[in-house]
Amino acid sequence: MFYSPAQAAEKTGFSIDTLRYYEKIGLLDRIDRTAAGRRRFSSDDVGFLGVLRCLRDTGMPIAEMQRYAELARGGAETVGERVAVLETHDERIDRQIETLRAQQQHLRDKIRYYRDSFDVE
């Protein structure tokens, strides 16, 4: 099954401009084209875009996403390296979550202070 750029954008949440950019910088490789030269995305492309969406939404820098994409194109022999990239990113996410939880608690303490001190609902 193939998807037009608009359909791929809708399925992945990326804009069409982002899809073009990701192709230009090598995150997407070998996007099929129609006889008229229009891009069309395979189900595998859309699936990989789902991985990229997750990586981007969790703050992975583009350079690391490019490294991951390069490794993914390397086949089974790069699985260990891909796991290492993902584990490193996962650890970074854990640290971000810890920081956010601490900051959230700080905010909650401040809210409680205002409510208690100034009789705010």
Is the pLDDT reported for residue 104 higher than 90? yes
Task: Give which of 7, 24, 25 is closest to 16, Cα–Cα.
Answer: 7
Distances (CA, A) of 55 to 34, 44, 50: 29, 17, 9
Angstrom distance (rounded) from CA 72 to CA 99 = 31
CATH number belonging to the domain at 2-118, selected among 3.90.120.10, 3.50.30.40, 3.40.50.720, 1.10.1660.10: 1.10.1660.10
CA distance 80 to 95: 23
pLDDT digits (tens, 9 = 90+) for 20-73: 999 999 999 999 999 999 999 999 999 999 999 999 999 999 999 999 999 999
CA distances to 37, 59, 95 from 102, rounded to whole Å, are 51, 19, 11
CB 84 within 8 A of CB 47: no
pTM here is: 0.89
Sign of the CA dihedral with 10 first, then 13, 15, and 18 last: negative
